[in-house]
Amino acid sequence: MAKYLLASAGGVCFLWLIAGLSPVQALPNLEIENKNLTIYQDVESHEKVYLNKSNLANTISDELPISNESQKKLEVDSANNSLQAITPQSANSSQPSDKLAQVTSVSQLSDVQPTDWAFQALQSLVERYGCIAGYPNQTYRGNRAMTRYEFAAGLNACLDRINELIATATGDLVKKEDLATLQKLQEQFAAELATLRGRVDAVEARTAKLEANQFSTTTKLNGEAIIAGIGATGGAPNNSDSNIILVNRVRLNLTTSFTGKDSLITGLQAYNFLGGADGQGSLQQSLGLASPLLSASSARTSFEPQFPGINVNTLSGVGANSVQLYKLLYIFPVANKLTLFAGTAAETSDAFPAITPFYGEGQESISRFGNLNPVLRVSGGTSGTGLASAAGFIFNISPNLDLRALYGSVNANLPEKAASEAVPGVSTTPLGAGLFSGSSIIATQLTFKPSPALDIGLNYAHSYHEINILATGLVSSDIGALAGVATGTPLTLNSVGGTVTWRLSPKIALSGYGAAIFVDAASNSVNASTTFTSWMAGVHFRDLFKSGNTAGILFGQPLYRTDASGSAQLGENRATPYHLEGYYRMKVNDNISITPGAFILFNPEGDSRNETTTVGVLRTTFTF
């Protein structure tokens, strides 16, 4: 028994020594956004070292997954359940090329002085137990960070010496002073040891209970509930102001991993926005600003679905607060830098980083205009209902460069196009039918980070539409994109855009986007084309007035028809539309935020006859 007591004491002393001498100290109270990382700080250089606790591969994101660092982690956005790959800073440290050598006296270590605070501990371990290794140049280097290799070498030397002492059973193996000290320590810390034992037992019991009653060993549940009051004034001439309305949207997201590196996302949602095929019951329609079909308008809020109250595939109605499958997507890595994804209910924003800090349907910008570049919304790319079946890839070219692409079909579940017509020239399955026929889109985004403060994303999309629409839901001219051309005319769209965010400081960022959509008739009997442009610029604030609060001020031009040729028309009473918005998100706690805000539309829908329109929003968001 005495032998093993000394072995334990020697091992404890050694571990205590290397922990005390190491200049790396844990900062457990530091709040960081990445919950999968433990941050340590070097007390000499003050540099942060990130130790990654996740082995998950690259995943789908709604923020830029590009940085100068080398490791990756999985982060789930509880609002939209879109996943993002973040590459934190490397934890590499210099490793000495010198070989460690055993020392038998502390005097052999030239850089260890009797005045050093750990001198006595070193002297004891070296001269009594002989388990301290130094470098061939007679230095100990006690003030530098220790590598895992050095830890292994020192620990091995100590264990070898302890085993040797136990095996030889030397007469003075255990001293009475050592045993007395151990007994005294045991008596002094008896209460603390008992308390600790009780806490461990309680934790083990709680862990066992959680494991026995957990929802799933492979699946995590998170969700978001939005309740908002919306009021508006202005709109079309001779139109009375709408009443204040109270709306909601609830989402439940199940994220399942089968291998630890893949993710299956299943999302359910319900909302009480109205609209339907003719827009009846929508705020936009009450203002007189909505398109005659599907209620597209610049007066739409960020958290409202693009086609509320209707299944656009079949033009069938969807009741208020009925449960829908809005997300079904599987993401899996196939190589170190390559990740694939596929699903039957997906959106472009699931695959492409948003880059702009204004994105966040339940947290940031309150308008549909302010959330994303219009190129991401073409062809129902962000319908809010997981309209498209899609498949694509994510290729991490380098830590600072990322390429993503997808193919999407909004009518993949329909075997054939319906023969009946909803309106002349438009089938009751207006988007066509089949996975590789009818309305479809090929989209790509190149994301790069030339510096830690600058994020840039470049987008291109090629679309084919069975009918004459843009399918962005951003403006009323979204329906009848080629003005003066029949609604049933098929179109081809080529869309280009770019988004930039420049972080002036950790709390202030400038962000903006630009977009152009080139529309051409895809029918041999029609010669028509037109061009839409849009831009936005804004300032985003973090931790404004209080930690966790954010705010945004943004201004720009909603989609506006700037050119037309052939049989396409520009329209009458034209005036360039503008959008001015401000909001302030107050963080009540980790799960609740309240966002008051408003946006003003000048020349709404690009029509000079429309009055300046103001839309006010008070949004409360619950996340869990």
pLDDT digits (tens, 9 = 90+) for 534-569: 999 999 999 999 999 999 999 999 999 999 999 999
Sequence-distant (6+) residues with CB within 8 A of 301 are 228, 230, 366, 367, 368, 615, 617
Residue 57 inside a domain? The answer is: no
Segment holding 516, helix H or strand E: strand 508-521
**How confident is the model over 78-114, as pLDDT tens digits?**
444 444 433 333 333 344 445 556 677 777 788 888 8
Q: Are residues 282 and 186 in the same domain?
A: no
Residue 89 inside a domain? The answer is: no
Residue 67 inside a domain? The answer is: no
Mean pLDDT for the stretch of residues 285-302: 92
Sequence-distant (6+) residues with CB within 8 A of 472 are 296, 306, 374, 377, 378, 381, 478, 559
Mean pLDDT for the stretch of residues 169-189: 71
17 C-beta neighbours (distance < 10 Å), count: 20
- For strands 426-427 and 338-346, give the pairing: unpaired
Q: Mean of the per-residue pLDDT values for the chain?
A: 82
- Asked if 533 contacts 556 with a C-beta cutoff of 8 angstroms, the reply is no
Sequence-distant (6+) residues with CB within 8 A of 131 are 10, 14, 125, 154, 157, 158, 159, 160, 161, 162
**Residue 46 main-chain phi, psi, to 5 deg:** 60, 20
Domain final residue, candidates 136, 171, 191: 191
| pLDDT surpasses 70 at 43 | no
Q: Are residues 224 and 187 in the same domain?
A: no
Residue 299 inside a domain? The answer is: yes
Residue 64 inside a domain? The answer is: no
CATH code at position 594: 2.40.160.10
Residue 30 inside a domain? The answer is: no
- Asked if 296 contacts 479 with a C-beta cutoff of 8 angstroms, the reply is yes
**Residue 198 is which amino acid?**
G
Q: Are residues 404 and 487 in the same domain?
A: yes
Higher pLDDT, 107 or 306: 306
Q: Are residues 153 and 237 in the same domain?
A: no
Q: Are residues 180 and 245 in the same domain?
A: no
Q: Are residues 601 and 479 in the same domain?
A: yes
Residue of 114, 117, 152 lying closest to 133 (CA atoms): 152
- Asked if 474 contacts 481 with a C-beta cutoff of 8 angstroms, the reply is no
Select the highest-mean-pLDDT range: 48-52, 476-480, 578-582. 578-582
Residue 567 inside a domain? The answer is: yes
Percent of the chain predicted with pLDDT > 90 = 56
The owner of tokens 């020192």 is: 154
Q: Which has the minimum average pLDDT: 129-133, 358-362, 451-455?
A: 129-133
DSSP secondary structure string for all residues of 395-420: EEEETTEEEEEEEEETTTT-SS--SS
Residue 47 inside a domain? The answer is: no
| Per-residue confidence (pLDDT) for residue 33, from 0 to 100 | 37
Q: Are residues 151 and 238 in the same domain?
A: no
**How confident is the model over 395-427, as pLDDT tens digits?**
999 999 999 999 999 999 999 988 888 888 889
> With a threshold of 0.75, does the pTM exceed it?
no
Sign of CA dihedral 369, 533, 350, 383: positive
Instruction: For residue 222, give the 3-state DSSP assignment.
Output: strand
Q: Are residues 306 and 386 in the same domain?
A: yes
Mean pLDDT for the stretch of residues 47-68: 36
Say how many domains are in the chain.
2
Q: Are residues 150 and 263 in the same domain?
A: no
Mean pLDDT for the stretch of residues 64-77: 37
- Asked if 558 contacts 579 with a C-beta cutoff of 8 angstroms, the reply is yes
Higher pLDDT, 162 or 364: 364
Domain span at residue 264? 219-623
Alpha carbon 361 to its chain's center: 13
Residue 521 pLDDT class (50, 70, 90 cuts): very high
Mean pLDDT for the stretch of residues 208-212: 78
Residue 154 pLDDT class (50, 70, 90 cuts): confident
Q: Are residues 227 and 107 in the same domain?
A: no
Q: Are residues 183 and 267 in the same domain?
A: no
Q: Are residues 255 and 163 in the same domain?
A: no
